[in-house]
Amino acid sequence: MTRAAPDPRKTLDPDRVAQWLACHPDFFVGREGLLQQLKVPHPEARGATSLLERLVHDLRSRAEQAEWRLEQLLESARHNEGQYRRTRELVLALLEAEDNDALGQALATQLAERFHTPAVALWCPASLTDAEPRPPQAPRQVLDDHAGQRLAALLDGRTSRCTRLTPTDWKRLLPHVPAPDKAGSCALSRLTLGEPLGYLVLASPDPDHFRASMDTLFTEYVGEVVARLLVRLAPASP
């Protein structure tokens, strides 16, 4: 009496089979008919499909994912190029300013037109403005103790920060721009060049325009450019 052949599913370790096939990738050479007989679970429906059909499905899925990633990269590249061009135009406009009032006005205009930032304030200490023939014009403001303490509190020990801006703070820190009825948002940056040179405030009545989770690299860069130009354009003390 012959004994029935043992069930391979009970005698073969699937992991060892997989390892063996991985070490022998040429196993199916000359056994193409076996490939057509293999059945694997269908990824999107019940039942099984042929191995070749499953491979085609997987390859199509990978191609779609690669196409999506490529589109994301292209979209990111287009955004970065646009950001670079807008930043370039901003810096060139600042370099053309003939004095600090023109610098502040160019800053406000460029940020409003190119970066949708409707309100800007540039707070400078009196030591940087007292040699000027006339008081600073908006958006420049002369930094006093009250404004300095509030700006420092909003920065909370940081060099730059995005945060909410209450109507009260808006009226105090951007007195030349009408305050919104509700809280907005702002990006703050401390201006320094060997010594404190004041603060840069970018504000919007939209509470989500400057979110706390946003990176402040752009604000810091603009602040560094403005700080250098403020010193360069300041009139010499008598």
179 contacts 171 by C-beta, under 8 angstroms: yes
Question: DSSP secondary-structure letter at 130?
Answer: T
Amino acid at 74: L
Return d(Cα 140, Cα 200) in angstroms, integer: 9
Which among 92, 85, 138 has a CA at the least distance from the CA of 114?
85
Question: Could you report how far apart the first and last alpha carbons of the chain are, in Å?
Answer: 120
Q: Are 131 and 234 in contact (CB under 8 A)?
A: yes
User: Going residue by residue through the chain (238 aa), what tens digit of pLDDT does each one get?
Assistant: 555 555 555 667 778 877 887 887 777 666 666 766 666 666 666 666 666 676 777 788 888 888 888 888 888 888 889 889 999 999 999 999 999 999 999 999 999 999 999 999 999 999 888 888 889 999 999 999 999 999 999 999 999 999 999 999 999 999 999 999 999 999 999 999 888 899 999 999 999 999 999 989 999 999 999 999 999 998 876 5
Collapsed DSSP state (helix, strand, coil) of residue 41: strand
Amino acid at 121: A
Is-contact 196 125, C-beta < 8 A?
yes
| Residue where the block lists tokens 């502040």 | 104
* Contact yes or no for 201/173 (Cβ under 8 A): yes
pTM over 0.85? The answer is: no
Report all structural domains of the chain as residue ranges with CATH numbers, in order of start. 72-233 (3.30.450.40)
Q: Which two tokens stand for residue 97?
A: 């300013």
Contact 113, 85 (CB under 8 A): no
Question: Distance between CA 175 and CA 64 in Å, rounded?
Answer: 53
